[in-house]
Amino acid sequence: MNRFAIKAGLGACVLGASVLIPAQASAEPAATATGTELSGMTVFLDPGHQGSSEGHDLAQQVNDGRGNTKDCQTSGMTSLGGVPEHTINWNVSQLVKSSLESLGAKVVLSRQDDTGWGGCVDERARAASESNADVAVSIHADSTAQGEDASKHGFHMIIPSLPIPDEKADAAQSGGGLEASKMMRDAYKSDGFVPANYAGVNDGLQTRADVAGPALTQVPLVFVEMGNGSNKEDSAQLESTDGQLKHAITITTGIVTYLLTGSQSAPAEELAAAPAATTTTPEASEDSASSTTTTTPKATTPKVTPQSTAPESAEFSELMEMLAPLLEVEGLDGLEDLVNDKNLGLVSELASTLMAVITGAGGN
């Protein structure tokens, strides 16, 4: 079986929709993933922040990777609906973890629960480096105000300013880290998410020199800000199990696309096109950034759910069986009920998006 057929089958299976993807007319029929396609690969997942900082000093100064220091950790934002960022990040990471493991990948977490301490930012970076992961993904949600901020919305990837003093970190982030970040950005855009319209973000990328994680991590790192918890539409999606599932599918798509097609030697041309945040941009939350500046543009809804038709009962049963590893995640009670005709259409469209990415990457 050629590499295209394997990738096509994996792309369909990881999104739980292989029953809906027709075989390519000029290629071998897509294979059903066996659960071993990512064997031998390691992914480090960092669900930002932690459930409790009891007994720890958040203001303790730690190495920022550029010869200075910064706070050990922050508590993270709280969405407009009162959901703490650490829980949003945890829920999404658990869905991604389950999906990757169902394909044979080894997944290492920066923290093991959503109740206790999660470690300082330098400790998480060290854990990522020591994991020797093929890629690390730090999952966060942003905020720009204490209350509602209707003018700012959207996702972005934080890219470190280059060069990074540590040679190994610089090589990892200027090569595979940048490439993986761009692939994750593309997955978000292809899935209908809108790039952030604030803090110097250029087409979904924000260049920063004040975030310690990327400057200290010696494996390729993607730093995802899923949306702005101060924006009504973004917040509603981040809070809901339905929205968390959509983010998890997109993040999984970005990771799998990189693991299967990434050269890990991407040039840094796009960094020049993505301006660094100005001095008025707030310090990163490795841990979510926060700003109180306001602008006038009206927010737009960041996600449009594609239309679909109700599935046949046999297809629905098969889909549920394939989605089981993704859905049976502790702490997300009732997620199984989300697989309805609307979500079936969403998953099918995402699978088609990944297929298009894989097809464009080349054949045999």
Write the burial class of residue 135 (CB in 10 Å: 0-12 exposed, 13-18 middle, 19+ buried). buried
Positions annotated as catalytic residues are 225
Q: Cα separation of 248 and 18, whole Å?
A: 18
* Strand residues in the chain grouped as ranges (E): 42-47, 61-63, 69-71, 106-109, 135-142, 156-160, 205-208, 221-228
Q: Cα separation of 38 and 99, whole Å?
A: 11
Q: At 198, give phi and psi (nearest 5°).
A: -150, 170
User: What is the b/e burial string over 315-331, where b = at least 16 CB atoms within 10 angstroms of the residue's CB?
Assistant: ebebbeebbebbbebee
Q: How far is CA 62 from the centre of its chain?
A: 25
What is the bridge-based pairing of β-strands 221-228 and 156-160?
Answer: antiparallel
Structure tokens at 356: 């298009």
Q: Report the interhelical angle of 3-14 vs 241-261 (nearest 10°).
A: 170
**Ramachandran region, residue 266 (left: φ > 0; alpha: ψ -120 to 50; beta: rest):** beta
